[in-house]
Structure 1
């Protein structure tokens, strides 16, 4: 008695068994602990609550030089343009990752000519029943789709979306740093102008004193020592005044770099008259608020989320991928028969493929993704403590400067 032929279900089960076993035998993805860093309840050097002000009060918003240079930087600064381009790149990557979850449809056409040896067909070939040359005309529409049973493509999409958040936070950080440096440079320029005015007054007073001492010396009323001392004071003040030019040049060069403007445009903006400077108290902030508002911390957190999704995608590479493919087309030996009903052809295919014996390739990918996640978490911790350190240092410097001013 003959053995019955195996059914399609049995053949499919036999084909799937090795792949399923390979997925089950693979080690699970490593668990990477990412605890939230501990934060103090308040900053050590923070001012009293009644002395605090808003962050915007620290910016010289009423200074026309700051307004002009800030607007120019937002429009043309190379560093900000680079950051914005990285956002566009991240968005394109997310669109690509999302499109991978949808079917891929392609179209193709072909004309193929074959020449064969008719002798291989025996008497039929020698008598001309089999043509020696044959032209085939074809056109196909092919659709393929991965249903993403195990979620690898979805994890890759999550990683791409997280990178948009990271790029956006980095761009916001570049923008804030740009405006802060411009504000600091404009403020330094105004301070230099005030110092120059004070030194000018010192030089004029010293020259006047030297002139009076010269008159007294010529009249024999006073010794020449008074004149020499006054002239030395005037000379010293003139040297201090000349030294301010190097500081002006440094600030102009810095603003050229920040704004993308030429030196003449920067100098023209700084030549505008500024209102009287008002020194504001440090802004109010809590450590938890700092984590919520610092762009570099937000970018590090987004990069950590992206690395977590990358690890999930790498772990899902252990499992088989199922691909569904459908083809519908036309094929004919004569152009006039191309659109006949008999020329229609079609194919529907379901395929499954997965790692069986890859000699550690998938595992190496998982280990690399796990290491990247550990590095991203370390970078996140570093960003948090960098933010805390910057805030403490800023508050401490303001407190020390206020104490020094009270003593002077």
Structure 2
């Protein structure tokens, strides 16, 4: 019995030396420095909430967003990833608990009795033996050095990452639906402006026809007015292709059929909103943006992975036991003499691994550095998105205001030119040019209002958005 004890005593210092080799590197992960305020922040602090930036009052947006939150394929995929992460965490937690298995067996052996000499030749050794066995085996790693606990911590952090990524998918989905609904309302506004243009051109053509019949104007004036009306009708027909693309886009986003999408969009919508951009702080992005939350969770998971890799240097202690029944005859299976058992305590650790553990630590450290770089990239991506979104909102508002003012002035100029033409104080060409300018400005104003509304949706997403109160939670577990 002395030799195993001496061998263990000799191996113990070597195993301890392996434990002390190559500790985990200390990798700093400071929170990135952010400015105190956004460069393009609003001059006056608006008290509106983020939800005011979205077309919440539009019935089409409400219907399509609720349908998407229930059936969208992208959200179903994100929910499945959360379930996969949860399963991984349950598995990691189960690894810290005892593992108990049961087995049963029947084994038959045939031997040559002659190999046992005279005893076998005299029939004292049977040539065939049948073994009947049943065992319950239990094993447990008490995880004294915390490797399994670190692995469980990494798995739990990946649940947070998957949940944050799913929330980001939700926000992107709602933003795309809102932008598509806004584009549809812009098409409605453009169509209304073009119909007004057609009516004005047809009225102008009728006036030119009256003057032509009276012999005070050439027929060319009527033809030009009719051509202007036809040009407006061509622009009106071109809007149908844009509507078809929007319907196809919403079918993809919501998982609904084209008829359902078209029915949701068919109702009258609310006028395009121009809500004030709410003031926010750059530090708010760290709490609101799902991509930053996902990157932070991945960083925490990589930190736990590094801890687990470093703890692989330590020995693992395994406790195991077997209790069972072993008999040579089925009738003797439950006799007390058939009861057998084994209890084992084992210690295993690195001795000469030729750099395997060290390579694992280096790989985990590199993964943590990469995760920290990804976290910093997410932070500055969010900062850049918010800065740009604030600036685009301000620029789009100025453009929309100027476009609306321009449309008002050109419409008034067209009315004055037509009045002068009726009074014989202006040529038909002047009226026609004034009408064309007014017609084009109406579409520009509608498009500019749409860009301003779309910019608000981008700002909503850049600031982290918010979940609608009526939305069913994606995470049901």
Instruction: Give the equivalent residue in structure 1 for 2:159.
Output: 164
Instruction: Give the equivalent residue in structure 2 for 1:334.
Output: 329
Deviation at 1:289, TM superposition (A): 1.0
Aligned 8 A contact 1:203 1:234 in 2: yes
Instruction: Give the equivalent residue in structure 1 for 2:224.
Output: 229
Tell me, what secondary structure is at the counterpart of 2:78? Answer: helix
Q: How many matched pairs?
A: 403
Instruction: Give the equivalent residue in structure 1 for 2:267.
Output: 272
- Give the distance between the partners of 1:368 and 1:235, measured in 2 at CA: 69
CA deviations over 1:194-214 (Å, ceiling 9, x no partner): 110111111121012112212
Deviation at 1:224, TM superposition (A): 3.4
Deviation at 1:10, TM superposition (A): 4.8
Asked if 1:202 is matched to 2:188, the reply is no
CA deviations over 1:123-152 (Å, ceiling 9, x no partner): 221111111111111111000011111111
Deviation larger for 157-166 or 356-365: 356-365
- Give the distance between the partners of 1:284 and 1:250, measured in 2 at CA: 35
CA deviations over 1:79-116 (Å, ceiling 9, x no partner): 11000100000000000000000000000111111111
Q: Which of the residues 360, 366, 374 maps onto 1:379?
A: 374
- Give the distance between the partners of 1:107 and 1:18, measured in 2 at CA: 37
- Give the distance between the partners of 2:129 and 2:399, measured in 1 at CA: 98
Instruction: Give the equivalent residue in structure 2 for 1:308.
Output: 303
- Give the distance between the partners of 2:386 and 2:111, measured in 1 at CA: 82
Can you give the 5+ residue segments of structure 1 that lack an aligned partner in the other structure?
A: none
- Runs of 4+ displaced beyond 4 Å: 7-11
Aligned 8 A contact 1:43 1:286 in 2: yes
Give the superposed CA RMSD. Answer: 1.6
- Give the distance between the partners of 2:145 and 2:46, measured in 1 at CA: 57
Q: Which of the residues 236, 252, 257 maps onto 1:241?
A: 236
Instruction: Give the equivalent residue in structure 2 for 1:261.
Output: 256
Distance 1:355 1:74, change over 3 A: same
Aligned 8 A contact 1:202 1:234 in 2: yes
Tell me, what secondary structure is at the counterpart of 2:347? Answer: strand
Instruction: Give the equivalent residue in structure 2 for 1:392.
Output: 387
Tell me, what secondary structure is at the counterpart of 2:2? Answer: coil
Deviation at 1:404, TM superposition (A): 2.5
- Give the distance between the partners of 2:338 and 2:106, measured in 1 at CA: 14
Tell me, what secondary structure is at the counterpart of 2:132? Answer: strand
State the TM-score, normalizing by the size of structure 1. Answer: 0.95
Deviation larger for 361-370 or 152-161: 361-370
Aligned 8 A contact 2:89 2:152 in 1: yes
Q: Which of the residues 203, 213, 218 maps onto 2:213?
A: 218
Instruction: Give the equivalent residue in structure 1 for 2:471.
Output: none
Instruction: Give the equivalent residue in structure 2 for 1:319.
Output: 314
User: What does 1:66-145 align with in structure 2 at a 5 Å threshold?
Assistant: 66-145=61-140
Deviation at 1:6, TM superposition (A): 2.3
Tell me, what secondary structure is at the counterpart of 1:136? Answer: strand
Aligned 8 A contact 1:107 1:142 in 2: yes
Instruction: Give the equivalent residue in structure 2 for 1:297.
Output: 292
- Give the distance between the partners of 2:114 and 2:87, measured in 1 at CA: 58
Instruction: Give the equivalent residue in structure 2 for 1:149.
Output: 144
CA deviations over 1:147-172 (Å, ceiling 9, x no partner): 11111111100000000000000111
Asked if 1:6 is matched to 2:37, the reply is no
Asked if 1:190 is matched to 2:185, the reply is yes
CA deviations over 1:177-223 (Å, ceiling 9, x no partner): 11111111111111110110111111121012112212212321113
- Give the distance between the partners of 2:108 and 2:273, measured in 1 at CA: 86
Can you give the 5+ residue segments of structure 2 that lack an aligned partner in the other structure?
A: 406-477
Instruction: Give the equivalent residue in structure 1 for 2:454.
Output: none
Aligned 8 A contact 2:45 2:279 in 1: no
Q: Which of the residues 13, 16, 21 maps onto 1:17?
A: 13
Aligned 8 A contact 1:54 1:284 in 2: no
Aligned 8 A contact 1:332 1:343 in 2: yes
Aligned 8 A contact 2:56 2:62 in 1: yes
Deviation at 1:238, TM superposition (A): 1.7
Deviation at 1:362, TM superposition (A): 1.6
Deviation larger for 251-260 or 15-24: 15-24
- Give the distance between the partners of 1:50 and 1:97, measured in 2 at CA: 48
CA deviations over 1:234-274 (Å, ceiling 9, x no partner): 12212221221222122111111110111111111100122
Deviation at 1:351, TM superposition (A): 1.1
Deviation larger for 268-277 or 344-353: 268-277
Tell me, what secondary structure is at the counterpart of 2:151? Answer: helix
- Give the distance between the partners of 1:63 and 1:328, measured in 2 at CA: 69
